[in-house]
């Protein structure tokens, strides 16, 4: 029943809100109950058992404007990183923004088009075109999310960890070695390095070691007093080897 679905979703959302590491897998268990609750309400709405009112309009407008304006501001910031670099105090973040990413003027059309579709939904609702408004909202939201994942997220990823992934896929890929991170946590090296299985006759003393650190955390590598030398730096990342 609906109460049971709500009971399943609420604890997941509460835990996801409390934990500091916002990994998407933590909230994935809430996808099905939340989707069910949304479909349940829309079914009532389309069957005429529920009425659309300002109680639904206000959250829709507020959340829609917040999402589209936030993304638009983010895209504008990424397109003009040189103008904002002086205001950034974090050295690692500042170095990450030096990555070469090619933005176009059409990128800003994605949040703008979604905002226009939301206002179209709001125009259809007072005219009693509930079904058309619901279909437009669902279709435009799906297209917006897919456009973001396809066109915007890969560009943002180039700032955050493209240099790290490039290092793992080229320098250390397929090597029988140890890969460590210093000063931060990551699962990237477990996936992108594609290390071969360890050999039983491999000496630990002779094994190759790679260490990845952020440019503002290199002191933690030097404090280990190991025979490591710096390979190179790129976009805020520093790579070491023995």
DSSP lists the bridge partners of residue 211 as 180, 240
Q: What is the pLDDT of residue 170?
A: 85
Q: What's the pTM? A: 0.76
Q: What is the pLDDT of residue 218?
A: 83
Q: Is the dihedral of CA 30, 36, 39, 44 positive or negative?
A: negative
Q: What is the pLDDT of residue 67?
A: 93
Q: What is the pLDDT of residue 200?
A: 56
DSSP secondary structure string, the chain? -HHHHHHHHHHHHHHHHH-S---HHHHGGGHHHHHHHHHHHHHHHHTTSS---HHHHHHHHHHHHHHHHHHHHHHHHHHTHHHHGGG---HHHHHHTTS-----GGGGHHHHHHHHHHHHHHHHTTTT-HHHHHHHHHHHHHHHHHHIIIIIHHHHHHHHTHHHHHHHHHTSTT-SEEEEEESS--SHHHHHS-PPPPPTT--TTT-EEEEEEETT-HHHHHTT--S-EEEEEETTEEEEE-
Q: What is the pLDDT of residue 192?
A: 84
Tokens of 130: 């509930």
DSSP lists the bridge partners of residue 181 as 212
pLDDT in tens, the chain (242 residues): 556 555 666 776 677 677 766 666 767 777 777 788 888 888 888 888 878 888 888 988 999 999 999 999 999 998 888 888 778 888 888 888 888 888 888 899 999 999 999 999 999 988 888 889 999 999 999 999 999 999 999 998 888 888 999 998 888 877 778 888 887 888 888 888 877 665 555 555 557 888 888 888 888 777 776 788 888 899 889 998 88
Q: What is the pLDDT of residue 198?
A: 57
Q: What is the pLDDT of residue 239?
A: 92
Q: What is the spatial distance between Cα 193 and Cα 175, in angstroms, rounded to a whole number?
A: 8
């Amino acid at each position: 029943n609906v109460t049971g679905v709500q009971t399943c979703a609420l604890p997941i959302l509460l835990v996801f809100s409390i934990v500091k590491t916002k990994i998407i897998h933590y909230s994935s268990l809430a996808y099905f109950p939340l989707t069910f609750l949304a479909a349940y309400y829309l079914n009532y709405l389309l069957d005429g058992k529920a009425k659309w009112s300002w109680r639904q309009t206000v959250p829709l407008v507020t959340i829609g404007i917040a999402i589209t304006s936030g993304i638009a501001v983010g895209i504008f910031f990424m397109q003009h990183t040189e103008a904002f670099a002086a205001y950034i105090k974090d050295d690692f973040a500042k170095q990450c923004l030096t990555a070469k990413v090619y933005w176009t003027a059409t990128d800003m059309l994605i949040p703008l088009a979604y905002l226009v579709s939301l206002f179209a939904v709001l125009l259809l609702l007072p005219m009693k075109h509930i079904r058309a408004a619901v279909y437009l909202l669902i279709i435009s939201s799906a297209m917006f999310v897919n456009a973001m994942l396809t066109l915007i997220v890969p560009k943002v990823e180039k700032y955050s960890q493209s240099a790290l992934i490039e290092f793992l896929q080229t320098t250390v890929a397929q090597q029988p070695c140890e890969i460590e991170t210093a000063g931060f946590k990551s699962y990237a090296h477990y996936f992108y390095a594609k290390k071969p299985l360890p050999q039983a006759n491999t000496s630990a003393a002779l094994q190759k070691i790679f260490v990845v650190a952020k440019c503002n955390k290199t002191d933690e590598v030097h404090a280990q007093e190991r025979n490591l030398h710096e390979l190179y730096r790129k976009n805020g990342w520093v790579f070491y080897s023995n």
